[in-house]
């Protein structure tokens, strides 16, 4: 109890399981010992106080723990009754059986309710985690979204990082020619191909439409061009659409944050965006009027 008051015991602490077990043991012994002593010496039935220890055990260790606690308390009640045989008002016979039965019912009820509550809390936690993931995930491609990008920036340790902005060339033509279903399929395929090319520490984000950004922490700037060429080839591979295939290109803009630089992602994105549109225009793909690289 002192640990709880001092906030030194919390379920998220790795020691919680052992501290909670120790506390349950002490709770049960603190009740069982007086029951044993006072029953045997004075013949005063204290077994109703055992309910407090049983509730403590059910809270921390559910049904299994409370049944173990009940076994200890019931043993103390029986032993106290046997040792106190002949003492004034000493409980024995039917009184002891009734006490044990009542404690058993209390144990089973408390343990079952605690286990049910534990399952309910676990379901709530799973639902919360699922909602959290959904809020940070692009529903179409399964990649991270803008919210996840902001949180990733906040959690990323200081150091060099590169942001690569990718914009598909020809996506609008695919949408207009084959419909939005084909465009969605194309985006999901591109996202899957890009994700397969990334390291565990990299983050792929769909900014919206046909724009993706990839966060590359700790990758030397002179190696970024190599991985970008690999991405461009992966994106350019034909994508089956209906009875045929489509092939799209990609325009790229890169921004680097060197060591000891405090540039924010927003600044890097603006730089990458300018360079991406410069790349698009250099290839003769006007903004808003992209052409498809090839239709097969």
For residue 13, name the pLDDT band (cuts at 50, 70, 90). low
Which pLDDT value is given to residue 193? 95
Which pLDDT value is given to residue 127? 86
The SS3 of residue 45 is: coil
For residue 41, name the pLDDT band (cuts at 50, 70, 90). low
Say whether pLDDT at 128 is over 90.
Answer: no
More confident residue, 58 or 207: 207
How confident is the model over 62-87, as pLDDT tens digits? 787 788 888 888 887 777 777 766 44
Please enumerate, as own/partner, the contacts of 201-206 that have beta carbons within 8 Å and a separation of 24 or more: 203/144, 203/148, 203/149, 203/152, 204/143, 204/144, 205/138, 205/143, 205/144, 205/145, 205/146, 205/148, 205/149, 206/138, 206/140, 206/141, 206/143, 206/144, 206/145
Look-up: residue for tokens 């020691």?
A: 15
Q: Which residues contact 6 (CB under 8 A, 6 or more apart)?
A: none
Q: Identify which of 37-46, 91-100, 174-183, 186-195 has the greatest average pLDDT.
A: 186-195
Say whether pLDDT at 99 is over 50.
Answer: yes
Which pLDDT value is given to residue 232? 93
Helix or strand (DSSP H, E) at 230: helix 221-236
Say whether pLDDT at 296 is over 80.
Answer: no
More confident residue, 95 or 206: 206
Which pLDDT value is given to residue 294? 31
Say whether pLDDT at 167 is over 90.
Answer: yes
For residue 10, name the pLDDT band (cuts at 50, 70, 90). low
Which pLDDT value is given to residue 120? 85
Average pLDDT value for residue range 215-237: 92
Say whether pLDDT at 237 is over 90.
Answer: yes
Distance CA 115, CA 66 (A): 11
How confident is the model over 251-294, as pLDDT tens digits? 999 999 998 888 999 999 999 999 999 999 888 765 443 433 33
Domains in the chain, please, with CATH? 2-135 (no CATH), 146-295 (3.30.70.270)
């Amino acid at each position: 109890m002192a640990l709880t008051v001092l906030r030194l015991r919390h379920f998220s602490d790795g020691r919680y399981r052992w501290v909670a077990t120790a506390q349950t043991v002490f709770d049960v012994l603190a009740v069982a010992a007086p029951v044993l002593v006072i029953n045997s010496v004075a013949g005063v039935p204290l077994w109703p106080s055992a309910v407090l220890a049983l509730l403590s055990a059910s809270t921390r260790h559910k049904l299994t723990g409370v049944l173990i606690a009940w076994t200890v308390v019931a043993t103390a009640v029986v032993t106290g009754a046997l040792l106190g045989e002949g003492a004034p008002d000493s409980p024995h016979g039917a009184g002891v059986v009734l006490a044990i039965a009542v404690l058993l019912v209390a144990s089973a009820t408390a343990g079952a309710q605690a286990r049910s509550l534990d399952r309910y809390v676990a379901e709530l936690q799973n639902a919360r985690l699922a909602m959290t993931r959904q809020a940070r995930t692009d529903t179409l491609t399964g990649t991270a979204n803008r919210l996840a990008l902001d949180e990733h920036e906040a959690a990323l340790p200081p150091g060099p990082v590169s942001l690569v902005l990718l914009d598909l060339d020809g996506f609008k033509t695919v949408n207009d020619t084959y419909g939005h279903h084909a465009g969605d399929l194309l985006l999901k395929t591109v996202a899957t191909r890009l994700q397969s090319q990334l390291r565990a520490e990299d983050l792929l984000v769909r900014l919206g439409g046909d724009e993706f950004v990839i966060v590359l922490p700790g990758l030397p700037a002179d190696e970024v061009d190599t991985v970008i060429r690999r991405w461009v080839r992966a994106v350019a591979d034909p994508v089956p659409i209906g009875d045929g295939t489509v092939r799209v290109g990609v325009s790229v803009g890169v921004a680097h944050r060197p060591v000891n630089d405090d540039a924010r992602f927003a600044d890097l994105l603006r730089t990458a965006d300018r360079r991406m549109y410069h790349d698009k225009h250099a290839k003769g793909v006007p903004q808003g009027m992209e052409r498809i690289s090839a239709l097969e």
